[in-house]
């Protein structure tokens, strides 16, 4: 009788209850996976792929932002004395100015603390912010078919004033000053406002040039300026111009990293989340279902809401 009463109470209470069981749990801690080589020493492979930004990945499989992920990997690597070198596998058109600079800063800070070599390997794309990040490396390799360069800054904004006039909509902003809504998509930019934006772009551009000069001691500033008009280069053209050190593949980058670290043998390792899988140096991290994480090239996210952003990005 008592059990029956309890069962009735449970049935009465259940309709008012909700149960929260996450179908897609958040990312777990990093785990080390060996993808090549042998020996006690390790070469860590870090992937920099997709548009560089500080946005966390949402959806079925949420993930930390690129900045947070790279910081997490570097923090773990800093505690592992057996890691003797890092290879950056770069495949990105670039991204926001600040995100690119933060990743560059984190790599430089790590290198200063651990004093181990970093080699950058440019895959399909290593343009703009991708090249900015590569400047933190001790050597930069490009594939024969790589595209790199695009040294410069871009700010994309939208002017919807004409469209709004056609459909009879007027947007009004009440501001504390005449420049408070500069860059608004609802009105035409004035010459004075364009000059202000240009000043900011010139400042970010100058920093880009300085970063390139620090990473390319073989080039004088005047040479860099001639190369940094925004154009892109093939791997061969970049090598001829002095923007990369060698033409080679990812295994060549690993071999160079080992050489710079004074190693005759080493295990190539990567960090991955529980449920992800990689079995060689070219593997993208795979989900249990076998689907690779897609490269997110949704550059329209940079102008959503009409808010302009400053970008080290090749965006033809």
Q: Give the pLDDT of the chain (316 residues) as one tens digit per residue.
A: 555 555 545 554 555 555 454 555 556 788 888 989 999 999 999 999 999 998 877 655 667 889 999 999 999 999 999 999 999 999 999 999 999 999 999 999 999 999 999 999 999 999 999 999 999 999 999 999 999 999 999 998 877 777 777 887 877 888 888 888 888 888 888 999 999 999 999 999 999 999 999 999 999 999 999 999 999 999 999 999 999 999 999 999 999 999 999 999 999 999 988 766 666 777 664 333 333 333 444 555 555 545 678 999 998 8
What backbone torsions phi and psi does residue 208 show, to the nearest 5 degrees? -60, -45
Please, what sign has the CA dihedral across residues 101, 297, 76, 45? negative
Given the structure tokens 């695009």, which residue do they identify? 150
Sign of the Cα pseudo-torsion (198, 201, 207, 210, in order): negative
What does the alpha-carbon distance between residue 316 and residue 309 come to, in Å, rounded to a whole number?
A: 16
Verify whether residue 180 is a known catalytic residue.
yes
262: β partners: none
Domains of the chain: 26-150+230-313 (3.90.226.10)
Question: Which H or E run contains 251?
Answer: helix 250-260
Residue 187: the pLDDT is: 85
| Residue 239 annotated to the active site | no
Q: pTM, whole model, 2 decimals?
A: 0.83
Among the listed residues 49, 121, 128, 184, the single catalytic one is: 128
Pairing of strands 154-155, 94-96: unpaired
- Tell me the three state secondary structure of residue 197: helix
Sign of torsion over alpha carbons 94, 95, 96, 99: negative
């Amino acid at each position: 009788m008592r059990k029956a009463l309890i069962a009735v109470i449970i049935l009465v209470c259940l309709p008012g209850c909700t149960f929260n069981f996450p179908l897609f749990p958040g990312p777990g801690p990093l785990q080390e996976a060996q993808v090549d080589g042998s020996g006690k020493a390790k070469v860590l492979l870090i992937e920099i792929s997709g548009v560089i930004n500080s946005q966390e990945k949402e959806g079925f499989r949420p993930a930390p932002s690129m900045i947070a992920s790279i910081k997490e990997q570097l923090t773990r690597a800093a505690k592992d004395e057996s890691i003797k070198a890092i290879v950056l596998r770069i495949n990105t058109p670039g991204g926001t100015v600040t995100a690119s600079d933060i990743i560059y800063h984190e790599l430089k800070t790590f290198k200063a603390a651990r004093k181990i070599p970093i080699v950058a390997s440019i895959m399909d794309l290593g343009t703009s912010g991708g090249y900015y990040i590569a400047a933190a490396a001790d050597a930069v390799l490009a594939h024969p078919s790589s595209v790199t360069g695009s040294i410069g800054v871009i700010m994309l904004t939208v002017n919807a004033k004409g469209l709004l006039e056609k459909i009879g909509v007027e947007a009004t902003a009440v501001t504390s000053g005449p420049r408070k809504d500069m860059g608004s998509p609802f009105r035409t930019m004035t010459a004075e406002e364009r000059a202000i934006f240009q000043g900011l772009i010139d400042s970010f551009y100058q920093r880009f040039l300085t970063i390139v000069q620090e990473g390319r001691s073989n080039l004088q500033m005047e040479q860099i300026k001639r190369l940094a008009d925004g154009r892109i280069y093939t791997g061969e053209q970049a090598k001829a111009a002095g923007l990369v050190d060698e033409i080679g593949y990812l295994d060549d980058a690993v071999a160079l990293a080992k050489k710079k670290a004074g190693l005759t043998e080493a295990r190539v390792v990567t960090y991955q989340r529980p449920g992800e899988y990689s079995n060689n140096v070219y593997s993208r991290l795979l989900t249990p279902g076998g689907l690779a994480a897609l490269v997110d090239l949704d550059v329209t996210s940079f102008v959503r809401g009409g808010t302009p952003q400053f970008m080290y990005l090749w965006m033809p």
